[in-house]
Amino acid sequence: MIGLIQRVINASVSVNDRTVSKIDKGLVILLGITNNDSLKDAEYVCNKTVSLRLFESQENNFDFSLKDVEGDLLVISQFTLPASVTKGRRPDFTNAANATIAKPLYETFIKLCRDQIDKVETGEFGSDMVVNLTNNGPVTIIIDSMSN
């Protein structure tokens, strides 16, 4: 499981010109689920996402986590993250889990996050979404459960 995390001032996601979710200060995670992912991967990426110290203290150090600052979380499914670009010019998506595997893990990931964070918003799984965000920093981190 791959999570691309961005620290944001605000963010929103729209489907068919309709805003389905929005957050204020917090994190946006684009979540890529692979064929080999399990509950263990969802737990790992969730725990890292909510506990990584990505928010600054008065000394401008990364001293606070999403939980510490009581920030919001926006979770967006992103099947393109596990793509391979090693051959040719077209991304190979065979490592991305199909919807029958990915959707239950995506929903489990959201539940795990909601157990730890007050405000967790989502996109619409499988939909063509427009994500707007104001990256703060910019701070962008990649978490890969296969790298742990």
Predicted confidence band of residue 148 (pLDDT cuts 50, 70, 90)? low
CATH number at residue 64: 3.50.80.10
How far apart, in whole angstroms, are the C-alpha atoms of residue 51 and residue 44?
11
Q: Give the domain extent around 88.
A: 2-147
Tell me, yes or no, if the pTM score tops 0.85: yes
Predicted confidence band of residue 31 (pLDDT cuts 50, 70, 90)? very high
Residue 40, pLDDT > 70, answer: yes
Predicted confidence band of residue 93 (pLDDT cuts 50, 70, 90)? very high
The Cα angle at residue 28 between residues 104 and 84, in degrees rounded to 5: 65
Beta-carbon contacts of 53 under 8 Å, excluding residues fewer than 6 positions away, are 62, 63, 64, 65, 68
- Over range 94-114, report the average pLDDT: 96
Q: What share of the chain is helix, strand, coil (3-state, %, to 5)?
A: 25, 40, 35
Tally of domains in the chain:
1
Per-residue confidence (pLDDT) for residue 58, from 0 to 100:
86
Residue 131: exposed, middle, or buried by beta-carbon count in 10 A (0-12, 13-18, 19+)?
A: middle
Per-residue confidence (pLDDT) for residue 4, from 0 to 100:
98
Per-residue confidence (pLDDT) for residue 147, from 0 to 100:
80
Tell me, yes or no, if 80 is annotated catalytic: yes
- Over range 17-25, report the average pLDDT: 97
Report H helices in 13-138.
39-51, 66-69, 99-114
Q: Higher confidence at residue 118 or residue 147?
A: 118
Per-residue confidence (pLDDT) for residue 26, from 0 to 100:
98
Q: What percent of the chain has pLDDT over 90?
A: 94
The DSSP-derived string for 109-124 is: HHHHHHTT-S-EEE--
Looking at 19, 34, 49, 80, which residue is catalytic?
80
